[in-house]
Amino acid sequence: MHISKLSIKNFRAFGANPSQLQFKPGVNLLVGPNNAGKSAVMDALRFTLGTKSDDWLKPSVSDFHFDGKSHAYDFRIEVEFDDLTLDECSTFMEWLGIRENTGKNFLKIWLSATRKDPHTIGKYEQEISWQRKAGPDDVGSSIDSDALRIIRATYLKPLRDAQRELSARKSSRLSQIFMSHKDVLSAGDDLVKIVSDTNDSVKAKIETPINQLNQEILSKLLLTTDKLAADISILPPHLKSILEDLYLRLILPATTTPEGDKLIGSALLNQGLGYENILFMAAELMLLSRSKFEASIPLLLIEEPEAHLHPQLQYNLIQLLEEMGLPPQKDDEKTQVQTIMTSHSPNISSATKIEKIQLFDKMGKVFSLSSSETKLESEDYDFLEKFLDVTKANLFFANSIILVEGDGENILLPVIAKKMGRDFSKFGVSIVNIGHIGFFRYARIFQQKKDPQMNIRVACIADRDIPPVEAKDYLTIPKSKKPRKTDADYAAAEIEAKEKTIKDRAMGGPVDVYVSPSWTFEHDLCLNGFDKEIHLVVCRLLKNTITGWQGDAKSISKEEIDQKASEEYQSWAAISPKERAAKIYEPIYSKSISKTDFAQHFARYLLTENNDNSDSFKKKIPSYLTKAIDHVAG
């Protein structure tokens, strides 16, 4: 059985309109910005199902939704399970329902809590009361402790003290893990005998001082009627005590030298937090994977699994969880583990299948990215699984997103926005460079089939990519070397249709598309008012002017380049802005300088040499870019 649905009403960040989350077998990932409700989901599951570490969970006033004025007076959390086995159906028989669409059994368990006004409750009344029930309807009946023990989850905290959990102490998590393993329980008598024999051996070696302690000192201190004597042992001969005194550590295994000498394995004396977390999670996962033989379902709740783990270990962890989430083969002793986890790691997000991600927006609304909910198609999932890497996965954690086609926009847009007074880092905007393919595929991540839509503003910035006729002298089609068509070769209706096609493929829901009015991002910056500044930066990169004068690249000074660039720009005073922009853009188009190099140097120029105030600076920016920036950082 696995959790298929969670419904939350008036709990923490979730208000009076019930929020529903759909879960699948295997790995499920919750992502989104801080304070969006991810931890509230995990706590809702812990409150309703309980945990194997027996955490004491009791609702408090802060668990009731606060609407800005007051706390709600009730909350309700419902958890539904599907795909029950025959044994599980037998265990939960009295609480089962039947799905109308499939005819299969399901189990619904809920926790409801109410609170009273502290100013009106009686002397012996409790301010908060709560109950846990189960049943197919909204009435249900109480669910007994034996049944609850089966649905308890394994929970790994976000701030895990792995060292403490792995150390020897009373009621340690390690002892609980081993105490739940059938092979340990079956070997319990043998372990007790080993400890008893060891205690006897130890006592035999130090019998003299113990006798002296009893006869010469203790007997004189105790009353005659006490009939007590001191005894010594390494451990009490009880299985629980034995397991509580164990600690888990990593060792360097025994090896053999090239000469054939055997080297004994040794413990890592200074074990880092990352390895301690890996070891602790390994112990928990070992027990979960064997839960086919345990009286509990294989359910793992884990917050921020990336804690203390470097990216490769994060990737290994996700791969293992995906493997454990697969249906077991016939006669396999292992079972299918369902994992529900939260993360702020782009590494983990990019390694998780998109259809198993639940995305929270900044308003605390949660949206499934499964094919039944989003506009993503099967080809989109295949594409994104291949191309949505760790450098792009930051889109899952932003308040707003700008999707761009190249390095130039990726480098320059944050600088432009900052100069406009719209610093992306202050507005929680992520800029994602997706290259020249798949705009619409990334856009569909944020587009739901049905309302409501996500409160995550997305701007796609695309080139119209129709060169002006003023650039015709240096335009050729790559490979064929044929002249390229310009705007003079298109009818106005054709240009309009091309722009509409670009927009229609990606626009919808919270996604808007902004298309350049002419050619490319760099060309349009030049055409709109930055021609002189861009010309200067281009000349600095070329170490000469665009036409005419050629300097000695080895000996020429920055001041000389700037002077010659100024003279060249002034010589173009009589030509049109379109002609001037075409001349300045030619070295970038012909790849005499790369777009990336240009973007880096022009960004530095804007930050260190441009003195425009935000208003005058904004006037130089093409309107399609200012509208896109206002959309995501408005």
What gap in Å lies between CA 113 and CA 126, rounded to an integer?
12
Structure confidence at residue 292 (pLDDT): 53
What gap in Å lies between CA 191 and CA 180, rounded to an integer?
15
Q: Is the pLDDT of residue 343 over 80?
A: yes
For the ranges 300-309, 425-434, 544-553, the lowest mean pLDDT is seen at: 544-553
Structure confidence at residue 584 (pLDDT): 96
Q: Once rounded to an integer, what is the mean pLDDT over residues 458-478?
A: 90
Structure confidence at residue 553 (pLDDT): 59
**Residue 517 vs residues 85, 371, 403, 476, 493: alpha-carbon distances, Å:** 61, 35, 18, 21, 14
pLDDT tens, 405-457? Answer: 999 999 999 999 999 999 999 999 999 999 877 889 999 999 999 999 999 99
Between 479 and 143, the higher pLDDT residue:
143
**Residue 571 vs residues 440, 525, 562, 589: alpha-carbon distances, Å:** 44, 21, 14, 22
Using pLDDT thresholds of 50, 70 and 90, give the confidence band for residue 479.
low
Structure confidence at residue 250 (pLDDT): 81
Between 3 and 52, the higher pLDDT residue:
3
| Residue located via tokens 């209706």 | 493
What gap in Å lies between CA 445 and CA 511, rounded to an integer?
10
Q: Is the pLDDT of residue 347 over 80?
A: yes
3-state secondary structure of 237: coil
- Phi first, then psi, for residue 461 (nearest 5°) are -110, 120
Structure confidence at residue 535 (pLDDT): 96
pLDDT tens, 238-278? Answer: 999 999 898 888 877 766 666 666 555 555 556 677 888 88
Spatial neighbors of 531 by CB under 8 A, at least 6 apart, are 569, 577, 580, 581, 584
Q: Where are the alpha helices (DSSP H) in 14-79?
A: 38-49
Between 54 and 94, the higher pLDDT residue:
94
pLDDT tens, 569-589? Answer: 999 999 999 999 999 999 999
Q: Which of 93, 79, 198, 72 is nearest to 133 (CA)?
A: 79
- Pair 353, 339: CB distance under 8 Å: no
Using pLDDT thresholds of 50, 70 and 90, give the confidence band for residue 227.
confident
What gap in Å lies between CA 455 and CA 355, rounded to an integer?
19
pLDDT tens, 32-75? Answer: 998 899 999 999 999 999 998 777 788 999 999 999 999 999 99
Structure confidence at residue 75 (pLDDT): 97
Q: Is the pLDDT of residue 345 over 90?
A: yes
Structure confidence at residue 63 (pLDDT): 95
| Residue 384: HSE in the Cβ half-sphere, 13 Å Cα cutoff | 25
Q: Is the pLDDT of residue 596 over 90?
A: yes
For the ranges 22-31, 277-286, 392-401, the lowest mean pLDDT is seen at: 277-286
What gap in Å lies between CA 273 and CA 624, rounded to an integer?
48
How confident is the prediction for the chain on average, in pLDDT? 90
Q: Is the pLDDT of residue 359 over 70?
A: yes
Using pLDDT thresholds of 50, 70 and 90, give the confidence band for residue 562.
very high
- Pair 363, 15: CB distance under 8 Å: no
pLDDT tens, 139-180? Answer: 999 999 889 989 999 999 887 777 777 788 888 888 888 887
pLDDT tens, 618-632? Answer: 999 999 999 999 999
Q: Is the pLDDT of residue 480 over 70?
A: no
Q: What pTM does this model have? A: 0.86
pLDDT tens, 363-374? Answer: 889 999 999 999
For the ranges 2-6, 118-122, 290-294, 595-599, the lowest mean pLDDT is seen at: 290-294
**What is the per-residue DSSP string for 345-372?**
-HHHHHHS-GGGEEEE-TTS-EEE-STT
pLDDT tens, 171-208? Answer: 888 888 888 788 888 899 999 999 999 999 999 999 99
What gap in Å lies between CA 531 and CA 523, rounded to an integer?
9
Characterize the bridge pairing of strands 266-267 and 251-252: antiparallel
Cα 406 versus chain centre, distance: 25
Q: Once rounded to an integer, what is the mean pLDDT over residues 201-221?
A: 91
Spatial neighbors of 5 by CB under 8 A, at least 6 apart, are 20, 21, 22, 23, 78, 79, 80
* Residue 118 DSSP code: T
Q: Is the pLDDT of residue 130 over 70?
A: yes
Structure confidence at residue 481 (pLDDT): 66
